Amino acid sequence: MGKGAPIGVFDSGVGGLSVLDEIQRLLPHESLLYVADCGHIPYGEKSPAFILERSRLVAEFFRERGAKAFVIACNTATVAAVADLRQDYPDWPLVGMEPAVKPAAAATRSGVVGVLATTGTLQSAKFAALLDRFATDVRVITQPCPGLVELIETGDLASPALHTLLQGYVEPLLSAGCDTIILGCTHYPFLKPLLEQMLPPSITLIDTGAAVARQLKRLLSERDLIGTGSPEQAQFWTSGDVDHLRNILPMLWKYPGVVSSFGFVKNS
């Protein structure tokens, strides 16, 4: 696994493309591999054991392709699998996600922070631990957002139905006095243009994609593994409908890419 080896990025669906974009921006010489487990989305309805099994399949898939690092660009999969995968592969650079509670607590002026996230993320012990650690001096208002991921997966980023759904999730946060909102799911950064239309300009939106890219760069730098040459074209795999991903990929990823079928399909 030398400098020219690829980086593997994994999500339950297309949301992790928001993280992939940050990696591409910070590390432009890296070849990128991406697996979207769209055949089993949403992960929030799956058991931790099932998500761990899927994560291990993807990890092995990337290992077989010589990936020098593995990014779990999914909050739910990070909670279910990252600790076990770090035990499985102690010498493999592995980066997970976590909601940006610490930077949000530092950014808020009103002392009230809102969190838009999936139900699974908000119910996780890891999220509770983040609140205990970083949010002792601020009030945190959590808002589960059922339905958002599914709409984004269809390529819907601006329909009236999406706008109405999102407005219903945002209004309680504004009513509570939130001036900082955490986008606690990798799908949600794709809604930033819509959110910026419906929110006052004083509201700060925070997600963790850029922080994940910086952590990945740090881990690669420690091992002298940062790429310096011309990268290969990004490769994408999905356990769902290949044609669907091919159709919506240009909406979410502004670079060329090849889409193939991810063959490890298992009924949930």
52-100 pLDDT tens trace: 999 999 999 999 999 999 999 999 899 899 999 999 999 999 999 988 9
pLDDT in tens, 2-12: 999 999 999 99
Phi-psi region of 92 (alpha: psi -120 to 50; beta: other; left: phi over 0): beta
Residue 118 domain flag = yes
Residue 217 domain flag = yes
Residues 35, 12 share a domain:
yes
- Residue 191: which residues within 8 A CB-CB, separation 6 or more? 148, 152, 157, 162, 166, 183
Give the total number of structural domains in the chain: 2
Q: Is the pTM of this model over 0.85?
A: yes
Regions of the chain with pLDDT less than 50: 265-268
Has 74 been annotated as catalytic?
A: yes
- pLDDT of 16 reads 97
Cα(201)–Cα(227) distance, integer angstroms: 38
Has 178 been annotated as catalytic?
A: no
- pLDDT of 264 reads 54
Alpha carbon 78 to its chain centroid, in Å, reads 9
Single out the residue of 10, 5, 59 nearest to residue 31, CA to CA: 5
Residues 16, 75 share a domain:
yes
- Residue 16: which residues within 8 A CB-CB, separation 6 or more? 9, 10, 34, 36, 71, 73, 74, 186
- pLDDT of 265 reads 46
Q: Which domain holds residue 136?
A: 101-207
Residues 219, 196 share a domain:
no
Answer for the pair 11, 36: CB distance below 8 angstroms, yes or no.
yes
Residue 268 domain flag = no
Answer for the pair 144, 117: CB distance below 8 angstroms, yes or no.
yes
Phi-psi region of 180 (alpha: psi -120 to 50; beta: other; left: phi over 0): beta
Environment class of residue 20 by beta-carbon count within 10 Å: exposed (0-12), middle (13-18) or buried (19+)?
buried
Residues 128, 106 share a domain:
yes
Indicate which residue of 38, 74, 145, 178 is catalytic. 74
Residues 186, 108 share a domain:
yes
Residue 2 domain flag = no
- pLDDT of 223 reads 96
